[in-house]
Amino acid sequence: HKPTNTFEQFRSKSKYEEIIEMDNTRFIETETFQQTVLFQEQDEQLKSLYGTARNIHDIATTMRDEIEDQNMLLDEFGERVDHTSSRLENAMKKVKYIIKANE
C-alpha cells in the first residue's frame, strides 16, 4: 500500500523513526546495564584489592614491631658482650701478671 498524501508519508517516516528510536533506546539500556555490571565487578575487585593491601599493611606493621624488639634485644646483648669482654680482658691481665710473677 503506497502512501497517497503527504501526511501519510510523514506518518510512515515517523513510524520508521520510532523503530529507530526504540532500537536506540534498547541499545542504550543494554549498554547502561552492561556498564553497571562492569562497575559492580570493578567495585568488588577494588574491595578485594583493598583487603589484600590492608592485610599486607598489617603484616608489615607486625614485622616492623618485631624487628624493633629484636634490635633492642641485640643492643642489650651487645652491651653485655662488651661488658663481659672487658671483664675477661681484665681477668686475662691478672692471669698474665700472676704467671709472670711466678716465673
Residue-averaged pLDDT of the chain: 88
CB neighbours of residue 33 within 10 Å: 10
Residue pLDDT, tens place only, 69-85: 999 999 999 999 999 99
pLDDT at position 3: 52
pLDDT at position 67: 98
Residue pLDDT, tens place only, 52-61: 999 999 999 9
Q: Which residue in the block uniquely carries the three cell numbers 646483648?
A: 77
Q: Is the pLDDT of residue 12 over 70?
A: no
Rg (CA), the chain: 43
Q: pTM above 0.75?
A: no
